[in-house]
Amino acid sequence: MSEKAKWAGIYLAAALLPLFIHFIRPLRDGLLSSPGTLQVLKFVPTVGLTLVAVLGWQINQTRIFWTGSVLLGTYAFCLGFLDLGWGSKAFRISLEILGAALPLSLVILFLIHETKLWSDRTLARVLLALSPLMLFWTLHQWAPDVYANVVYWGSQPPTGSIRIPSMAWASTALFLAFVHFQGDLKIRPFLISLSTCFIPLLLNLHACHQVLKVANQGNAKDLWRQAVNLKDLEVTLSFTVLAAILLHSILHMYWKKVYQDILTGVPNRQALDERLHTLTKGYALAMVDIDHFKKFNDTYGHAEGDNVLRMVAQHLEEHLGFRVYRYGGEEFCVVFEGDSLATAEQMMDKTRGSLEKRKFRLRQGGRKEPGGFFPKRTTGGKIVHITVSVGVSAAAKDGSPYEQVIKKADKNLYEAKEKGRNRVVAD
């Protein structure tokens, strides 16, 4: 399973938690019977979404800042609309517009490249992102028949019950497609987590349905307050989970920014140094160097050399898991915590052998096939084989400073090169 699919599954499971709470009646009724607890819970999404906006600003991602701000406004709107006495029908219409327009607004927001937070371009981008919301609201006010045709695709909108608009499904599908195909790896974790923001919106449609049912029963004051409390609980829980998911994704992005090598995608030297400081005894280290890398760069260019680095890093990670780090240049370090020297040597030799057999096709000489939004590159490049030399060393039983272990592994690496390369040398 890819990292993108793994995190998408985790975020989706988390976003469904409020739905489970809704169906666990004792837990739901317990929260509703404690007004003080509900009032405290209402502040959690406000704090969380404010942190999302602030952290987006701090990591120079203004799109995250504006997303957090828009979602904070959406939460305040959903929480306070009925309490202001504006009526359940207007609330339903507003949620319909949010469901249909918010995914489109987010697509527009993230389609445009990063700009300074306070600039004319940023203001124009935000106004453009809000245009779907303004368009649907204008249609509802001045052309209700056109609005119904656009939002419900020709079918009659519901009168006494809630149905998710067809346009909401379509715009959500468009956003998910955008997340899947967009190529900005730096923002992808946040976009994946953002995909779950539409679940709280759908849950709020359900909460509105509860209020409408009460309204149809005559607007009895106690029943109305009970319905509003139910709506507040579902809105609060939904946006609490959403804020937690977005904050986790931002921290994940920050970790990648600090600890992930931007070229190869594996953890960098700083991450390795922090990992090595935690090792005491019972570990082995392997130093891996790509053979004839300088000659390869001189022959085929640095762009092809970067592709080789990515391929080798991917191969090491596929066979050795999350113990691979880029040490620098064309060198990688592999940490075997809790493994013996023999195990580390065996695993490295197996990985080296499978890499030797792997075909690497040079990008130069290939050409792009015309047609479609995503043209494919033909397989016209030359095929080469990449090999590595490896030095392995283990800490003494009573523990050795990791500097000594790296030094011994590095010495074994150069011995492997002197013996003809494409081999593993261990203590």
Q: Which of 96, 234, 317, 330 is catalytic?
A: 330
> Do residues 136 and 93 make contact, with C-beta atoms less than 8 angstroms apart?
no
Tokens representing 282 are: 């019972």
Distance (Å) of CA 250 to CA 6, 9, 58, 176, 230: 16, 17, 11, 19, 30
- Of 206, 198, 224, 218, nearest in space to 82 by CA: 224
| DSSP class of 152 | S
| Secondary structure class of 341 (helix, strand, coil) | helix
Residue 329: CB atoms within 10 Å: 11
- Of 188, 177, 191, 185, nearest in space to 374 by CA: 177
**318 assigned to active site:** no
In angstroms, the CA 267 to CA 335 distance is 12
Taken in order 355, 358, 359, 362, is the CA torsion positive or negative? negative
In angstroms, the CA 313 to CA 402 distance is 22
Tokens representing 403 are: 């500097």
- The torsion angles phi and psi of 394, rounded to 5 degrees, stand at -120, 155
| DSSP class of 382 | P
Distance (Å) of CA 144 to CA 137, 160, 265: 10, 17, 51
> Do residues 104 and 41 make contact, with C-beta atoms less than 8 angstroms apart?
no
Cα within 13 Å of Cα(413), Cβ side: 22
- Of 386, 405, 383, nearest in space to 337 by CA: 405
Catalytic site positions: 330
